[in-house]
Amino acid sequence: MKYFDYYHSPLGNMVIIEEDNAVIQLSLTSKKTDNEYLSSDTMTHTTTALLHTAKSQLTEYFQGKRKTFDLPLAPSGTPFQKKVWQALCQIPYGETRSYKEIAIQIGNPKGCRAVGMANNRNPIMLIIPCHRVIGSNGTLVGYAGGLDIKKWLLEYEKEN
């Protein structure tokens, strides 16, 4: 069974989805009704202990009090994507890495584009900090939530 709840952030409304006591998705949403997430009988809108903890940690993050998240995560993806996402979680708060640096870190120095694709498919935004990945020349490139949000997050983290 999957459980979900909404979180109202400075970035906009977000949805957090839990399955088997792990967060499997955190994303921005424009959905206003539960019916849009309840396409099957496998999702329930409720606040579980884990979803409550996730919302509390997000609040602390947006208050500038939390620099890392301590939540069980289970993003769905290929082994390569999961390797990239693990590397993203090692980027310290307020810092950035290039796609090339991540590719080298995971032992695939020519895999910059593949790292970019894995970054783009990250299902747990913010907690798996894909916003901290930038172009080799320091430019902001690609972000599923939009470059304005990526810029906001990077500036927010540098200020805090």
Q: Distance of CA 85 to CAs 43, 63, 66, Å? A: 25, 25, 20
For residue 130, indicate whether it is catalytic. Answer: yes
C-alpha span between 90 and 53 (Å, rounded): 21
**Contact between 61 and 69 (Cβ < 8 Å):** yes
User: Which is catalytic among the residues 130, 134, 149, 154?
Assistant: 130
Q: For the chain, count helices (H), then strands (E).
A: 5, 6
C-alpha span between 157 and 75 (Å, rounded): 24
Catalytic (active-site) positions: 130
